A and B are shown apart, each in its own frame.
Chain A
C-alpha cells in the first residue's frame, strides 16, 4: 500500500458501526467476566434477601407483607448497583491508571459517542443483573401473592430507564472522582442512596416520617424501587408509574449531561 491509499480514509467508518464495535467489545469483556460481574453486583442484594426476605420472616420478626415490599426494592438495588459499577469502575481505572481507553478515544467518531456507548453497555448490564436476581429472589422468598409478571413491558421500561439513570451517574462519578476516592464513592454516595432509596421499605411507608418522605425524593433510587413496585406488585401502594417515568427521564437527562461533560473533560486535555 502507499500512503495515498490509506483504507481508513477511503472508507470512513460509519458512526453506527463504530458504536456497535465498541458495544461488541464491552459484551465480549463482560462475557469473559460474567461470573465475577454477577458476584460483585448482586452479592449484597442477595445477602440482604436471605436475611430480610427469608430468615427474619421465618423467625416471625417480619411479616409476610414485608417480602412483597422488599422484592421490587432488591431488584432496584441490583440493577442500580450493577449499572453504576459497570461504568464507574472501568472509567476510574482507564482514566486513572491504565489509560486503556486510549484505543477507543482514537476511534474516528465524536468523543461523546464513546461515552454514550459506555452508558448503554452499563444499562444492559443493569438489566441483566436484575433479570438474574428476580428468579433467585422468588426462590428464596417463596410464593409472593402480590407478585405478577403480567406487566413485563412496564418492568422492562423501569429497568431500562433506571439502569440508564445509574449508568449515567456511573459515568459522571467515574470520570469526576479521583481514583484514590473511589472507596468514598461507595460509602458516601452509594450507601446512603441504597438505605434512603425506598428499596428496603415502600415510599408510602414514610408517611410516618413526612420530612423524610419528601427529602428522599432527591434520591433517584426511590423512583427505580417505586417503579419496580408499580410494575411487579401493582396491588400494593406505590408511586404512580407516570410520576416514576417522568422523574427517571429527568434523572437520566441530568446525569447524562453531567457524565458527558465530565467524560469530555477527561478525554480531551
Chain B
C-alpha cells in the first residue's frame, strides 16, 4: 500500500520556556494555535529546551485509520502540528501525500482537514458561514459548498443550528462543527487531535460512528487519543508514543497479544514499594513484579487472588496498602509495561 504519510527521523525541540519572572508571556511553546501546547516531554540540559519528538519514523498507509496513543506530553499534538504544517520540525522530514510539510506546505494543506483538540470555530460567523468561508479559503464556490455544507450539517445532526451563533452550541455540537469544517473541502487526509476529550459518552459514541463512516469512504484518518478503548475500537494500527519516542506500532490485536501475561494488580503502599518487591516476586501466582516509588505492579496469573498474600507481605514489612487496582491484559497493560506509567 502506498504511504499517505511518511516521517523520517522527525525531531522537534522547543526553545527553553520563558523564565518565571517574565510573567507577561503565555506559557508553553510558541505557535501552538489549537490544541494544548505541546508537549512536554523530556527536558534536556537541566531543563533548557523541551524535546517533544526524538526522531519519529512513521509510515501511514492510504485509507488507513491510524491512532497515535500516548499520555499527555507524549508528543502527539506536536506530531499532528508538524503534519498539518503548523509546527516546523527541528530536523528530519515529513511527507503528506508526497508533499513535504516544511517546503511544500501549501500542497499539504490542500489535501488535509484538521479537527483540533479544542473547538476553535470563527465566532464572528454563524455555523453555516463557518463552513462556507472555510470552503472559500480552499477556492470552493458557494454553489458547490452550500449544498455540501447543508448535507454535512444534516449528517452530523446539527442542521437545526445552521444559522445559530457558534456560542449557542454545546461543546459536542461545536466539535461536530469542527468535523464538518474539516470535511467541507473533501480532504484526502483527516487529522483529529483528541477529538472526544470532554465529550459525554453518548456524543463520543456518535462521533465514533461518524469516524467509522469517514474511514469507510476511503479517507486516511490520523487520530491522537489517550483513550485506550477509542484507539482499540477505531484504529487499523496504533502507534504508542511516549516522551517523543515511538514505543510500539502494530494492529490493536497484535499489540494486545504483546501485552505481558496475567492481570495487572497495581498496589499503592504507604512506603517504598522496592522494599517488598523481592518477597512479592516469590509468591505463588506472581509472574512478574516491579516497584516504582510507592507503586507495586504485580502481574498475576491468578487474577485478584494474589492480592491478599501481597497485602500480607506489605504489612509484614511495616507498610500499609492505600490503593489497589486490577487491569486485565490489554493495550493499557502493554502501555504500563513499556512506559512505567498509566495513560490518564
Contact = CB atoms under 8 A, between A and B. Distances in A.
A15 B134 CA distance: 14
Interface in B15-39: 23-26, 29-34, 38
A150 interface: no
A58 interface: no
Given A8-B140, A9-B110, A99 B116 contact: yes
B209 interface: no
Contact of A266 (B33, B110, B111, B185): B33
A12 B144 CA distance: 15
A65 B317 CA distance: 96
Given A100-B122, A106-B114, A265 B106 contact: no
A6 B187 contact: yes
B110 A12 contact: yes
B338 interface: no
Q: Is the interface of A mostly helix, strand, loop or mixed?
A: helix
A98 interface: yes
A208 interface: no
A171 to B, nearest CB: 16
A14 B140 CA distance: 10
B86 A3 contact: no
Interface stretch (B199-207, B216-224, B244-252, B256-264): B216-224
Interface in B153-178: none
B136 A24 contact: yes
Given A25-B133, A266-B31, A7 B86 contact: no
Interface stretch (B124-132, B228-236, B308-316): B124-132
B125 A29 contact: yes
Contacts of B121: 100, 103
Nearest to A184: B24
A2 B217 contact: yes
A269 B106 contact: no
Given A12-B110, A99-B116, A265 B30 contact: yes
Size band of the interface chain A makes with B: 35 or more
A108 B107 contact: yes
A7 B124 contact: no
A36 B265 CA distance: 62
B139 interface: yes
A12 B188 CA distance: 13
Contacts of B137: 13, 18, 21-22, 103-104, 106-108
Size band of the interface chain B makes with A: 35 or more
Interface string B139-157: 1100010000000000000
Contact of A7 (B24, B25, B87, B185): B185
A108 B120 contact: no
A3 B120 contact: no
A179 B24 CA distance: 8
Contact of A269 (B88, B110, B111): B88
Contact of B218 (A3, A11, A21, A100): A3
Nearest to A109: B106
Contact of B125 (A25, A95, A99): A25
Interface in A1-47: 1-4, 6-9, 11-14, 17-18, 21-22, 24-25, 28-29, 32-33
B24 A180 contact: yes
A266 B25 CA distance: 13
A255 B253 CA distance: 57
B109 interface: yes
A53 B51 CA distance: 60
Given A6-B186, A108-B106, A108-B110, A100 B120 contact: yes
A99 B110 contact: no
A12 B139 contact: yes
Contacts of A13: 110, 137-140
Contact of A32 (B24, B29, B124): B124
A266 B218 CA distance: 34
B38 to A, nearest CB: 8
A178 interface: yes
A210 interface: no
A51 B85 CA distance: 52
Contact of A108 (B118, B138, B144): B138
B26 A96 contact: yes
Contact of A103 (B29, B134, B188, B220): B134
Interface string A245-267: 00000000000000000000111
Contacts of B88: 268-269
Contacts of B123: 98, 100
Contacts of B134: 103
B139 A11 contact: yes
Given A98-B123, A99-B33, A268 B26 contact: no
Contacts of B219: 3
The residue in A18, A102, A181 that gathers the most chain B C-beta atoms within 10 A of its C-beta is A102
Nearest to A11: B139
A268 B109 contact: no
Given A8-B110, A269-B88, 14 more contacts: A3-B188, A6-B186, A13-B138, A17-B139, A18-B139, A33-B124, A100-B121, A105-B86, A107-B109, A108-B109, A108-B139, A268-B86, A268-B88, A269-B86
Interface of B: 14, 23-26, 29-34, 38, 62-63, 81, 84-88, 105-107, 109-112, 114, 116, 118, 120-125, 129-130, 133-134, 136-140, 144, 181, 185-188, 217-220
21 contacts: A3-B218, A4-B218, A6-B111, A7-B186, A8-B110, A25-B122, A25-B133, A29-B124, A96-B26, A99-B116, A102-B114, A102-B120, A103-B134, A105-B86, A110-B106, A111-B105, A267-B33, A268-B87, A269-B29, A269-B38, A269-B86
